[in-house]
Chains A and B, each alone.
Chain A
Amino acid sequence: FLHLRGHKTLRKHCTEKYHNITTWTSKLCLFFPISTQTCHTELHAGQYYTLPPAHMRTLFPHGLPPRFQMQMKTFNEACVMVRQPALELITCLRKADYSEPALRYVLYGEKGCGKTLSLCHVLHFCSTQGWLVLHIPDAHLWVKNCRELLPSSSRPGRFDQPIQALNWLKNFKTTNEHFLSKIKTTQRYVWTKRESTEEGRPLGELVDQGVSRVKSSSDVVGALLRELRLQAGGAAEGAFRLAVAVDGVNALWGKTTLKKEDKSEVLPEELTLIHNLRKMLRNDWCGGAILTTLSQTGSLFKPRSAYLPMELLGEEGFDNMDPFVPIPVSNYSDKEFESCYLYYLDRNWLQHPHSRTEDGKKELIFLSSRNPSILERLCAFL
């Protein structure tokens, strides 16, 4: 997968194609596609790197923002900018001690700053290091718009969400195929009178049980999370590190829009999936890291201007998540904006003749105020 474009060939490619853009020769360092993950340091900040397509299919069946997926389809490649918050997170993960309880990291920032993409970048790093990746793409999807809310078969007063659990299990299976045969269950799980999973069976069987029997899929998710929690970072030879990534973690402690049959509101802790996920986010297990993102976009009953952890998580959420490592994600700096602009030029995306001039660039900076998502939406029709 090492598709490393050499320095000299890139320069030649540039000077042939873009004679008018004088910034190329001087700012060549800004757009130097590198694919080797492990050598990302501060030197590479602001540069783009290409994610190999095979990795994209397995790692991210469900995690990427929809506009980024459209961009991937158009440009026929997946290029992510290396930015300061992601670099910080990667250095923390490298230096952390995994015999201690798991550290919680929270990426926060204004709307459209690049929190989800930074999380995806870090997850790619984790998977190249051989970690087991547990990615919940958007926790808000579990607390709203649920068509089927079944009362839980195992516990009274809890509600199951079979469709969401099923989708998630399928995606989990695609991401972590190679781990499913290695990890064994430590306990016997009884699903119904006739079905049970014995102790010592591979995890793959547990996942298949959830996929085939849709009614018990939420309980299967709970069992899966429990198994992974117990076995991550163990001293055994089959030890693995666990990366729990939750996008939109403020959904777990907010309100839901789901209603019971007597029209009373469902609290988040009454949902099996949310309850088990909250147990996962407690730092009482070792051998991994918990990477989360706050998100106002899908959140319920929160104002649009809220982006700080205290505002979005609320009292209860903050107390549960405390202590955590907050990592702010901000708009593009000058260098990053340059890099993004040059990337769009290279990919033949900025078509309007005025947008290729200096004045046009200043207009873009002014209109988008260097916000990544607004810039992307502006450049889409220019």
Chain B
Amino acid sequence: MVASIANLLKPWTPRLCAVRWSRYNPYYLEPETDKDVYKIPDTELSPEQKEEKELKTTRPIKAAATSITSSPFNDPVISKFINMMMQDGNKVLAREIMTQTLETIKRKQVEKYHRAPAAEKEAIECNPYTIFQQAIENCKPVIGLASIQKGGKNYQVPIPLKDSRRRFLAMKWMITECRENKHRRTHMYEKLSQELLSAFTNEGNVIKRKHDLHKMAEANRAYAHYRWW
């Protein structure tokens, strides 16, 4: 039995390249990059966490990706957005655009903050990270549509969505909206910052697209029973 597991430990190359990112043997575990997790003393761990820690001493662990750091400045949502914006593997450019977007959002908000009278200062949100998170949250659709074939005809059936799918749709709509529907000569970071700020206040084209999807789902409510899962 040990020999078969050891066989699995050698770098496994697929015979057919079926799925991307599955180069690692499934036996390998994900790395834990958050520094605070290691600072918790043993006494405060729950039994499941203790089991996981035991497992990590025996099993091999995947190498951490170069884009993540152990610093608290690292944000997985932002990393995912950068990866989605990236074209032709140009991560440097995608990251640059993201940082410029965050800077533009912060500049606009801080300028508004400094010019506002003292009464309104509390209400203005200046943190670009909270604005980004909230904007993406506002753009996430609650319900999605799937094309199901029944009796030779294809119906758009409303289905529940997984959280990862919702996040993916929100980010994808944001990026396509900024790439296609804005003026050609503006920079991507300007377009993104405008769209994110309007999504933060529940206005703008991406929110409209989400509402359109919800309306379609509501309209096709009758076919909901075609879903079998």
Q: Kindly count the residue-residue contacts between A and B in the assembled complex, taking CB atoms under 8 Å apart.
A: 46
CA distance A75 to B110 in the complex (A): 7
One of A70, A351, A354, A355 near B128 (C-beta < 8 A): A351
Task: Say yes or no for A214: interface residue by CB 8 A criterion.
Answer: no
A351 touching B111, Cβ below 8 Å:
no
Interface residues of B in 91-141 (CB under 8 A from A): 99-100, 102-103, 106-107, 110-111, 113-115, 126-129
B128 touching A381, Cβ below 8 Å:
yes
What string of 1s and 0s marks CB contacts (under 8 Å) between A2-39 and chain B? Answer: 00000000000000000000000000000000000000
CA distance A143 to B159 in the complex (A): 64
Given contacts A352-B127, A352-B129, A363-B73, contact A76 B103 (CB under 8 A): no
The closest CB in chain A to the CB of B106 belongs to A351
One of B71, B114, B127 near A74 (C-beta < 8 A): B114
Interface residues of B in 140-158 (CB under 8 A from A): none
| Residues of A with C-beta under 8 A to B89 | none
| Residues of A with C-beta under 8 A to B110 | 74-75, 347-349
| Residues of B with C-beta under 8 A to A363 | 71, 73
- Mostly, the B contact residues are helix
CA distance A73 to B72 in the complex (A): 30
CA distance A351 to B99 in the complex (A): 14
CA distance A347 to B113 in the complex (A): 10
| Residues of A with C-beta under 8 A to B107 | 70, 74
- Mostly, the A contact residues are helix
| Residues of B with C-beta under 8 A to A65 | none
Task: Say yes or no for A239: interface residue by CB 8 A criterion.
Answer: no
Residue among B73, B102, B103, B126 with the most chain A CB within 10 A? B73
Task: Say yes or no for A360: interface residue by CB 8 A criterion.
Answer: yes
Task: Say yes or no for A141: interface residue by CB 8 A criterion.
Answer: no
Task: Say yes or no for A306: interface residue by CB 8 A criterion.
Answer: no
Q: Give the total of A residues in contact with B, Cβ under 8 Å.
A: 18
B72 touching A351, Cβ below 8 Å:
no
| Residues of A with C-beta under 8 A to B99 | 380-381
A354 touching B103, Cβ below 8 Å:
no
One of B73, B111, B113, B114 near A352 (C-beta < 8 A): B73
B114 touching A381, Cβ below 8 Å:
no
CA distance A145 to B82 in the complex (A): 35
Interface residues of B in 10-58 (CB under 8 A from A): none
CA distance A76 to B129 in the complex (A): 23
B126 touching A76, Cβ below 8 Å:
no
CA distance A360 to B71 in the complex (A): 9
Q: Name B's A-contacting residues (CB within 8 A).
A: 71-73, 99-100, 102-103, 106-107, 110-111, 113-115, 126-129
Given contact pairs A75-B114, A360-B72, A360-B73, enumerate 13 new A-B contacts (beta carbons under 8 Å).
A74-B114, A76-B111, A76-B115, A347-B110, A348-B114, A348-B126, A349-B106, A349-B110, A351-B127, A352-B129, A354-B72, A381-B128, A382-B73
Q: Name A's B-contacting residues (CB within 8 A).
A: 70, 73-76, 347-349, 351-352, 354-355, 359-360, 363, 380-382
